[in-house]
């Protein structure tokens, strides 16, 4: 069982990785890991606390998120451990 701190950290890493892999809109993120819109929005907003630079490109209706910099996070570790993160968060990947 993860603590709130661990689950928050893992969720941020996992969603940053999804964005980096092209699952980069709120509907895609929500459908892929079956989370509420507000959770996805709050998690993306909180990426800055980890010094992950994420921005929104395009218009509201057809834009997408992009990871500009992973800051101190090693994206290779996140990609390698994607299944572990998903399992820890009880995410059933639908894509």
pLDDT tens column, 11-46: 999 999 999 999 999 999 999 999 999 999 999 999
Token digits for 52? Answer: 């992950």
User: Are the C-beta atoms of 65 and 25 separated by less than 8 Å?
Assistant: yes
- Return the higher-pLDDT residue of 94 and 80: 80
What share of the chain in percent tops pLDDT 90? Answer: 91
Rg of the chain over all Cα atoms, to the nearest angstrom = 12
Domain of 78?
4-88
Alpha helices in 1-95 (DSSP H): 4-20, 26-33, 37-46, 75-80, 82-88
Domains in the chain, number: 1
Average pLDDT rounded to a whole number, residues 78-84: 97
pLDDT top residue among 60 and 78: 78
93: in domain = no
Q: Is 57 helix (H, G, I), strand (E, B) or coil?
A: strand
63 inside domain = yes
């Amino acid at each position: 069982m993860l603590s709130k701190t661990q689950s928050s950290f893992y969720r941020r890493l996992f969603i940053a990785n999804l964005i980096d892999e092209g699952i980069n809109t709120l509907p895609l993120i929500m459908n892929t890991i079956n989370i509420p819109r507000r959770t996805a929005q709050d998690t993306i907003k909180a990426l800055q606390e980890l010094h992950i630079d994420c921005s929104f490109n395009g218009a509201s209706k057809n834009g997408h998120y992009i990871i500009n910099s992973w800051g101190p996070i090693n994206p290779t570790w996140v990609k390698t451990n994607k299944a572990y993160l998903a399992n820890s968060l009880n995410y059933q990947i639908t894509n």
